[in-house]
Structure 1
């Protein structure tokens, strides 16, 4: 059916008025992603940087793809500790930075080695190694986190800073019939809880927003009945116990979008 010329002109005019009344949303300002493998995307594959294991499916890249910030610096690197953030990542944060995300602290406390020891050692040894890591997290890690958080704020006084927490690795009393014992899974989750308490507490002390990784991944841990968002033991071995693509997307990215709007 042909639309009369005068009606088409009227519709065009109305459309133009609507376009003027509802301006396009401006792109957000500069975004900087700092941290370790949980932010670089180790475990999600398709690495754009082989040394740091920065994945095309990592939540920082997904957020940048969707929101199109005015500038994006993906500085997170697998294996990073707080000292690495201060020595080689923090320079990406500048005074015009609008948003910073950072996940850090797990490597300082040695949780990668703890996971290895729990896979190779006895229940009691696994529990002992987790207690050691938890003690470090309670006593030494807070000062290291403070140094990172202060450096971020000093370099970008007006930026919104979102501290990204770690998920629990296991769903206890879940669906797994093989793998680590329930005693080992419990000890590992207790360490996740300590990290959660310490990191969220220091983030709050600095006035930063905390993204709760335990909530973001709830129901999708190893041994949960839902879709698994965390790798168990996989090959390459370094991708074990890290979020997979679904976890980066449905866990971290979805939570970050909810926080940032």
Structure 2
């Protein structure tokens, strides 16, 4: 056997192994952080009504809203926040889509409750008779199943047109009430029950239309379970909140809506 060729072959083999190890052990350039251009659309449940810490020059947008909290926790590249208290679907289409573009990567929205008139229904049920409450809730259910789907479809389509590359995340509304005994001045258990049933109808309709639009629907109800009005630790404000009545408080946005959004964003 000739030793010199064997030595050359052995040296070449060692060099190959060393090169391979160097490729594994020497770190390459750090991976660039993902770009997140986030736009938060919608009504008061998106703007953060009930949480406090409002920018009074805006539509009661709060730094404690789920949108603001998520943006702060995820080091977003950009964050636009046109959500506005009192908004209906037409307001989203006509007034909130300006920040959207082909570079938008994520859009969140709550919408539809004001279209169905839930604010006035809640007021009617709080201060009106059982029969009036039942009638108004039934009207809202009918609207939610007949008129609202088309409005939601148009809203989601408009968002898609302006932000074709974005992930659209539609968040639903929580059930607002616990139905056990809640004191002599509280809304009756039967009223609270039918209002919760209306919330269930709204969730079902919204989930179906979000799915049809290829959006991700997040059901807020499980995340607020046990923390409605009349709970020992409520995350929803009662009528005593005046303009904030029947909206999440700061805990509701932090411990209800934010985990709901986190559940689909990782």
TM category (shorter chain) comes to 0.7 to 0.9
Q: Is the aligned partner of 1:71 residue 2:105?
A: no
What is the rounded CA distance, in whole Å, between the counterparts of 1:55 and 1:170 in structure 2? 23
What is the rounded CA distance, in whole Å, between the counterparts of 1:228 and 1:196 in structure 2? 21
**Which among 133, 145, 153 is matched to residue 146 of structure 1?**
153
What is the rounded CA distance, in whole Å, between the counterparts of 1:202 and 1:19 in structure 2? 50
Match of 1:123 in 2: 130
Shift of 1:163: 0.1
Report Cα offsets for 1:77-97 as digits up to 9, x if no partner: 000000000000012211110
Shift of 1:51: 4.0
Match of 2:21 in 1: none
Structure 1 residue runs of 4+, over 2 Å off? Answer: 17-25, 173-178
Residue 27 of structure 1 contacts residue 68 of structure 1 at CA under 8 Å; is this kept in 2?
no
Match of 2:7 in 1: none
Unaligned runs of 5+ residues in structure 1 are 1-16
Bigger CA radius of gyration: 2
User: In structure 2, the residue corresponding to 1:32 is in which secondary structure?
Assistant: strand
What is the rounded CA distance, in whole Å, between the counterparts of 2:226 and 2:34 in structure 1? 33
Match of 2:240 in 1: 234
What is the rounded CA distance, in whole Å, between the counterparts of 2:25 and 2:226 in structure 1? 43
Match of 2:139 in 1: 132
Unaligned runs of 5+ residues in structure 2 are 1-23
Match of 2:256 in 1: 251
Aligned residue pairs, count: 243
What is the rounded CA distance, in whole Å, between the counterparts of 1:53 and 1:190 in structure 2? 28
What is the rounded CA distance, in whole Å, between the counterparts of 1:92 and 1:185 in structure 2? 38
Q: TM-score, normalised by structure 1?
A: 0.88
Match of 2:5 in 1: none
What is the rounded CA distance, in whole Å, between the counterparts of 1:60 and 1:92 in structure 2? 15
Match of 1:203 in 2: 210
Match of 2:222 in 1: 215
